[in-house]
Chain A
C-alpha cells in the first residue's frame, strides 16, 4: 500500500526492437545482398549505387525516411538483442550495460538524423 510502482523503461525499447525485427526480417537480406554483395561484385550494375543516384535518393523525403528507419531500427533491434544476450556469453548485465547499448543506438540514430539534414533536400 502506498508504494508507487517503479516505471520501467522497457516498453519503448521493446517496441523499437519489434519494429526493427520486423523491418529487418522483411528487407534485411535483400539490402545486404544488394549493397554488400551484388553491386560490389558486379552482379548488379555499378550505377545502381552511383553517387548521383544515392544522393538523389537521400535528398528525397521518402528516401530520407527509408534510410533513417533502416539505420535507426536496425540499431535498436540489434542493441536490444545484444544487451539481453550478454548474460548468455558470461558478461554481467545491468543498468550500465543497458546504458552503453541503448546509448549507442540512440547516438547512432542522432548521427543518422544529422547526416540526413546535412545532405539536404
Chain B
C-alpha cells in the first residue's frame, strides 16, 4: 500500500465503463464508436485499392478475404454502427442549423429520405452497369 494513498475526499475520475450506467451516455458512446468502424472500413477499401493496383490475382485475394466469416461479421457490425451514425447525424442537424423557415423535424426526415434515395440510386446504378 502506498503511503501516498489519496485522502478520503480526493476525487478520482472513473475512466472505464462510466457510460454504461446511463442510457444517454451509452447512446453517445455508440454514436462516437461508429467512427472506429468507419475508419476501419476506409482501411478495408484502401487495402482493396492497393490490391487492385497490383493486378487481378492480388485483387481476387482481397475479394476472397472479404468472404471470410470474420470479415462478414465485421461488416455486419459496421453496417449497424454506420446506420446508427446516419440516423443520429440527421437527428442532430436541426440543432446545428440556423433558424429554419419550416419545421425542424422535416430536416431530419429529409436527410434520411436523401440517404435512402442515394442508397437506391447506387444499388440501381450498380445493377444496371454490371448487368
Contacts and interface: CB of A to CB of B under 8 A. Distances in A.
Main secondary structure of the interface of A (DSSP, over half): helix
A88 B16 CA distance: 8
Given A35-B48, A37-B79, A81-B34, 19 more contacts: A24-B85, A27-B118, A27-B119, A28-B41, A28-B82, A31-B41, A49-B63, A50-B130, A70-B45, A71-B42, A71-B45, A74-B41, A79-B35, A81-B32, A82-B36, A88-B19, A90-B13, A115-B49, A119-B49
Interface of A: 20-22, 24-37, 39-41, 44-45, 47-51, 53-55, 58, 67, 70-71, 74-75, 77-82, 84-85, 88-90, 108, 111-112, 115-116, 118-119
A77 B35 contact: yes
B123 A34 contact: yes
Contact of A29 (B63, B83, B90): B83
Interface of B: 13, 15-16, 19, 29, 32-36, 38-39, 41-46, 48-50, 52-53, 56, 59-60, 63, 66-67, 71-72, 74-76, 78-79, 82-83, 85-86, 89-90, 111, 114-115, 118-119, 122-123, 126-127, 129-130
